[in-house]
């Protein structure tokens, strides 16, 4: 555990997640405070802030303190502002963005290092987000499984979540590109990565973007991947965040996964999200 002078940090589960206090993220924060927020993120993988008021400009300004803003390649339908993604769930939607376990946008050659999600409007209950610690997922594997995975890569694609064949736009308000010119983005990543800042090993696969193990067919990879997908979301690796209006979740996308729980059946849930560019590792 690290000591903090500028912020308070209260761990929310045994696996990951901490609530940060004593800071208004819309302010021009000094370097020491930003440094402590970054330290808390590295230590806890996802950090939460309550009762924040964040305009679009201040949301972007806070994001830029941690890196360049990542432009999402698929969530851009009808939007002038390419730096902000809005995730809107309305009554009648039968699906929501992010309802299956994933790390964000891992089909990119350089996936985003993190995301900052801000709640504009949330239901009275439901619509939580669950996070899972992928260091723990790796560390709790047997030595035999670790040895096998250490040399393997996996192919990631956005074919299940964007483009006309995905059919996601018929089920939800938050639209993705589905025009005829859309082409899948496909890149390969090591199944076990070393975090560029902490130096710790973590799993880097997820059931939304990962297609198969490089050099194997989907059928050959499936038993190994299915075992890992079940393992990497074990309850003891997770924390669950119940949103209020003005809450923020800021996650490290390199070493965690998350899922939006779609149980707020007749209500509106409206979120505003930036992503932070990553580095290739």
Strand partners, 21: 8
Put residue 105 in one of left, alpha, beta given phi > 0 → left and psi -120 to 50 → alpha.
Answer: left
Residue nearer to ligand SIN on the CB measure, 141 or 260: 260
CB of 180 to ligand SIN, least distance (A): 26
**CA–CA distance, 273 with 216 (Å, rounded to integer):** 35
Query: Is 260 near ligand SIN (CB under 6 A)?
Result: yes
Site for ligand SIN in 221-240 (CB under 6 A): none
Whole-number minimum distance, CB 198 to ligand SIN, in Å?
Answer: 22
The label of the residue with tokens 């339908």 reads 77
Q: Which residues is 213 bridged to in the sheet?
A: 154
Contacting range for ligand SIN; rule: CB under 6 A; set: 58-66, 96-104, 158-166, 220-228: 96-104
Question: Catalytic site residue 233?
Answer: no
Residue from 104, 112, 113, 116 binding ligand SIN (CB under 6 A): 104
Residue 116 lies near ligand SIN (rule: CB under 6 A): no
Of the candidates 44, 72, 102, 160, the residue annotated as catalytic is 102
CB 60 within 8 A of CB 276: no
Q: Kindly state the tokens that stand for 253.
A: 């996308």
Which residue among 7, 17, 98, 195 contacts ligand SIN (CB under 6 A)?
Answer: 98
Should residue 271 be labelled a site residue for ligand SIN when binding is judged by CB under 6 A?
Answer: yes
Task: Give the SS3 label for residue 227.
Answer: helix
Q: How far apart are CA 176 and CA 76, in angstroms?
A: 7
Is the Cβ of residue 43 or residue 101 nearer to ligand SIN in the bound state? 101
Backbone φ, ψ for residue 239 (5° rounding): -140, 160
272 binds ligand SIN per the rule CB under 6 A: no
Name the one range near ligand SIN by CB under 6 A: 2-10, 97-105, 162-170, 202-210.
97-105
Query: For residues 121 and 239, what is the distance between their CA atoms, to the nearest angstrom?
Result: 22
CB of 245 to ligand SIN, least distance (A): 14
Cβ atoms of 26 and 62 closer than 8 Å: yes
Please say if 44 is a catalytic residue: no
Phi/psi for 223 (5° steps) reads: -60, -40
Residue 87 lies near ligand SIN (rule: CB under 6 A): yes
Q: Tell me how far, at minimum, the Cβ of 143 lies from ligand SIN, in Å.
A: 33
Annotation says 258 is catalytic: yes
Instruction: Show Cβ contacts of residue 194 under 8 Å, excluding neighbours closer than 6 positions.
Output: 200, 201, 281
195 is catalytic: no
Q: Is residue 273 a contact partner of residue 98, using CB atoms and an 8 Å limit?
A: no
Identify residues 119-138 at the interface with ligand SIN (CB under 6 A).
Answer: 129
Distance between CA atoms of residues 173 and 91, nearest Å: 9
Residues belonging to the active site: 102, 104, 258, 273
The residues of the shown chain that bind ligand SIN, judged by CB under 6 A, are: 87, 97-98, 104, 115, 117, 129, 258, 260, 271, 273
């Amino acid at each position: 555990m690290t000591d903090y002078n500028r912020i308070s940090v209260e761990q929310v589960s045994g696996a990951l997640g901490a609530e940060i206090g004593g800071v208004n993220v819309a302010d021009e924060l000094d370097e020491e405070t930003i440094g402590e927020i970054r330290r808390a993120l590295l230590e806890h993988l996802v950090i939460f802030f309550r009762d924040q008021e964040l305009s679009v400009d201040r949301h972007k300004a806070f994001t830029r303190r941690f890196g360049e803003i990542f432009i999402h390649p698929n969530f851009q339908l009808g939007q002038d502002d390419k730096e902000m993604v809005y995730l809107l769930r309305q009554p009648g939607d039968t699906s929501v963005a992010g309802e299956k376990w994933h790390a964000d946008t891992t089909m990119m050659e350089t996936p985003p290092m993190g995301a900052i999600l801000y709640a504009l409007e949330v239901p009275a209950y439901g619509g939580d987000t669950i996070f899972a610690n992928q260091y723990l997922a790796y560390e709790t594997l047997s030595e035999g499984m670790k040895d096998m995975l250490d040399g393997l890569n996996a192919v990631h694609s956005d074919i299940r979540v964007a483009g006309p064949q995905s059919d996601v736009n018929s089920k939800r308000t938050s639209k993705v590109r589905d025009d005829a010119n859309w082409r899948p983005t496909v890149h390969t990543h090591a199944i076990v990565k070393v975090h560029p800042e902490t130096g710790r090993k973590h799993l880097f696969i997820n059931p939304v973007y990962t297609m198969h193990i490089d050099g194997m067919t989907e059928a050959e990879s499936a038993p190994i991947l299915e075992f890992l997908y079940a393992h990497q979301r074990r309850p003891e690796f997770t924390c669950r965040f119940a949103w209020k209006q003005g809450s923020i979740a800021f996650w490290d996308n390199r070493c965690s996964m998350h899922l939006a729980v779609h149980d707020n059946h007749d209500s509106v849930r409206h979120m505003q999200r930036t992503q932070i560019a990553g580095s290739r590792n």
